[in-house]
Amino acid sequence: MKSPAPASKYFLYARKSTDDAEHQLLSIPAQIDELRTFAEKEGLNIVDTIIESKTAKVPGRELFNQMLDRIEKGEAQGILAWHPDRLARNAVDSGRIVYLLDRNILSDLKFPTFWFQNTPQGLFMLSIAFGQSKYYVDSLSENTKRGLRQKVRRGECAGLAPLGYLNDRLNKKAIIDPKVAPIIKELFEIYSKGNSTFESLSLFLESKGVISRGDIPIHKSRITFILSNPFYCGFFRFNKEIYQGIHQPLITKKLFDEVQAVIKRKTHIYPQKSLDFPFTGLIKCGECGMMVTAEHHIRRYETVNHTVDFIYYRCTRKSKLSSCSQPFIRQEILTAQLNQHIQKVSLSTSDHDWLIKRLEEDRRQQRSEVLVIVQEFKKDLVSINEKLSKLLDSYLDNVVSREDYLIKKENLFSSKKTIEQRINTLEQSPNKWLEPMREFFNTALTADKIASDNINLFQKREFLKKTGSNLILKNRIVDCDLPDQWAALLRRPTSRNLEARAGIEPAQ
């Protein structure tokens, strides 16, 4: 394999955050400042600084294109940017960069927050990082939510157990409250008969000793809340989504559904979202652009005295501009198609392990590169501290005036603080790209299992939402438009290929 010649000239490319989700990233002056310092420490020769104000979500950035044209002409061989997502966030632009790298017209990319090596596997990691901005931003803002999300994935309900359950803090799950649970169960049974009001149920609870804090009867709005809480039949809500729980249900799904039907009939409002339909609000109609919803039908076969449940999905047909002629689709058929889309992005265990191993190697290499720079900064710190102590001596020996001393001390302290911040940023950045990438591969690893499990349909919904796929239903066919990093995963070479191309013998 030909190894690319080291780049001798670099363009510094910075892009303003114009995309909503990016506001938390470094501001432009701070980005440029960090990049210049990085270049200096790494000994990169920056021939021009390019500051773009357009979003990288869509192709057609003027300065970006000019920069690549100049690279074609040989004005520079490398680009320095904050993160791959600063450079390209759409397939056209990232494709152009990869193509330039492939032909060695562009020989190096440098990012303080991402480690890139111009090898086939390096290019693969890069192509994922290009589309990963959302992941990256999410991981910054949702670091605290991550624990919560993992809990949800395991089926543990986050937060306080509802009435009728107790929090088992030791085993981190909700357990049935033997005193209150039978009363709640009865509450559902009474209401399902259809002839009681929320007020009468409040009295019923009071007669059983179930009251609110402050010795007042439970308010009817709380009764509605209890009766429409899927927790009681084994599910739970989190972020407006419904998940399968690991707790023991108090009532059957059938009873829960009956109660929902009564609520619907009596209050003339739909209960929040029916549990039956895992794929509503997920897919758009390909004809009129409205959301696809679902309907429950029961077909009775009189001769064999047997009923069959059908779930159909159809366009909500809410568009006022056009009428829609799209047909219904059965849930089974829809599920099979969604399974195929999920299956497509699945990673085999061996590919997954290989990629995680690569990630670990990249992390180590980036770590050592960063360490060199951090060492330099630490030398600067030592020198500042020496200056500070000399300054103090001069002041104590009456060589400098108090006024001068204070001004100089202030200056030195300010540089010290800047350097400390830089060290901090650098030491943290290597892990910032690593974690989202690792999580991304881990998600892809679960795809296979999720696609083949046709019992927990809500998992499929969660997975599809997580990938951010754009799903369009037209003529009973679901089309799936994958976001860039997933599309990059689809185009991945196999681990065997990668190792062969990198000149490594594949492990047997």
Q: What is the CA radius of gyration of the chain?
A: 30
CB 437 within 8 A of CB 315: no
Q: Specify the residue, 293 or 467, whose C-beta has the smaller distance to Zn ion.
A: 293
- Residue of 22, 108, 156, 287 interacting with Zn ion (CB under 5 A): 287
Q: x/- contact string, 246-275, with Zn ion (CB under 5 A)?
A: ------------------------------
Q: Specify the residue, 290 or 381, whose C-beta has the smaller distance to Zn ion.
A: 290
- The helix (H) or strand (E) run that includes residue 311 is strand 306-315
Q: x/- contact string, 289-308, with Zn ion (CB under 5 A)?
A: -x------------------
Q: Would you state the structure tokens that stand for residue 100, as one six-digit string?
A: 């330039």
- Residue of 47, 183, 288, 384 interacting with Zn ion (CB under 5 A): 288
Is 313 a binding residue for Zn ion by CB under 5 A? The answer is no
Closest to 130 in 3D by CA, of 493, 487, 371 = 487
Alpha carbon of 170 to those of 145, 158, 174, 178, 492: distances in Å?
21, 14, 10, 18, 43
CB 89 within 8 A of CB 58: no
**Least distance to Zn ion from the beta carbon of 291, Å?**
9
Q: Would you state the structure tokens that stand for residue 58, as one six-digit string?
A: 């869509």
Q: Specify the residue, 166 or 288, whose C-beta has the smaller distance to Zn ion.
A: 288
Piece of the chain touching Zn ion by CB under 5 A; list 11-19, 268-276, 284-292, 409-417? 284-292
**Least distance to Zn ion from the beta carbon of 287, Å?**
4
Q: How far apart are CA 464 and CA 245, in angstroms?
A: 19
Number of Cα atoms under 13 Å in the Cβ half of residue 309: 8
Packed helices 143-154 and 133-141: angle between N→C axes, nearest 10 degrees: 100
Q: Specify the residue, 163 or 285, whose C-beta has the smaller distance to Zn ion.
A: 285
Angle at 358 between CA 353 and CA 363, to 5 degrees: 125
**Least distance to Zn ion from the beta carbon of 285, Å?**
3
Number of residues that bind Zn ion (CB under 5 A): 7
User: Which amino acid is located at 273 in the chain?
Assistant: K
**Least distance to Zn ion from the beta carbon of 470, Å?**
16
* CB neighbour list of residue 70: distance below 8 Å, 6 or more residues apart: 11, 48, 76
Q: How far apart are CA 504 and CA 508, in angstroms?
A: 12
**Least distance to Zn ion from the beta carbon of 331, Å?**
18
Piece of the chain touching Zn ion by CB under 5 A; list 262-270, 279-287, 399-407, 430-438? 279-287
Q: Specify the residue, 250 or 285, whose C-beta has the smaller distance to Zn ion.
A: 285
Q: How far apart are CA 478 and CA 494, in angstroms?
A: 27
Q: Specify the residue, 132 or 280, whose C-beta has the smaller distance to Zn ion.
A: 280
Q: How far apart are CA 481 and CA 341, in angstroms?
A: 10
**Least distance to Zn ion from the beta carbon of 474, Å?**
9
**Least distance to Zn ion from the beta carbon of 173, Å?**
42
- Residue of 105, 324, 371, 502 interacting with Zn ion (CB under 5 A): 324
Piece of the chain touching Zn ion by CB under 5 A; list 285-293, 347-355, 359-367, 381-389? 285-293
Q: Specify the residue, 159 or 327, whose C-beta has the smaller distance to Zn ion.
A: 327
- Residue of 67, 81, 125, 315 interacting with Zn ion (CB under 5 A): 315
CB 42 within 8 A of CB 83: no
Strand ranges in 135-264 using DSSP code E only, listed in sequence order: 165-168, 173-176, 235-238, 241-244
Closest to 237 in 3D by CA, of 264, 263, 272 = 272
CB 116 within 8 A of CB 88: no
Q: Specify the residue, 50 or 290, whose C-beta has the smaller distance to Zn ion.
A: 290
CB 298 within 8 A of CB 279: no
Q: Would you state the structure tokens that stand for residue 490, as one six-digit string?
A: 């689809």
Piece of the chain touching Zn ion by CB under 5 A; list 78-86, 156-164, 315-323, 371-379? 315-323
- Residue of 7, 285, 294, 373 interacting with Zn ion (CB under 5 A): 285
Piece of the chain touching Zn ion by CB under 5 A; list 11-19, 158-166, 311-319, 334-342? 311-319
Piece of the chain touching Zn ion by CB under 5 A; list 56-64, 316-324, 333-341, 475-483? 316-324
Q: Specify the residue, 25 or 285, whose C-beta has the smaller distance to Zn ion.
A: 285
Piece of the chain touching Zn ion by CB under 5 A; list 88-96, 161-169, 282-290, 303-311? 282-290
Alpha carbon of 13 to those of 47, 81, 164, 426: distances in Å?
11, 5, 58, 19
Query: 3-class DSSP state for residue 78?
Result: strand
Query: 3-class DSSP state for residue 248?
Result: coil
Piece of the chain touching Zn ion by CB under 5 A; list 114-122, 209-217, 312-320, 366-374? 312-320
**Least distance to Zn ion from the beta carbon of 267, Å?**
29
**Least distance to Zn ion from the beta carbon of 478, Å?**
14
Token pair 């010795």 is found at 215
Piece of the chain touching Zn ion by CB under 5 A; list 131-139, 323-331, 438-446, 453-461? 323-331
Contacting positions for Zn ion (CB under 5 A):
285, 287-288, 290, 315, 324, 326
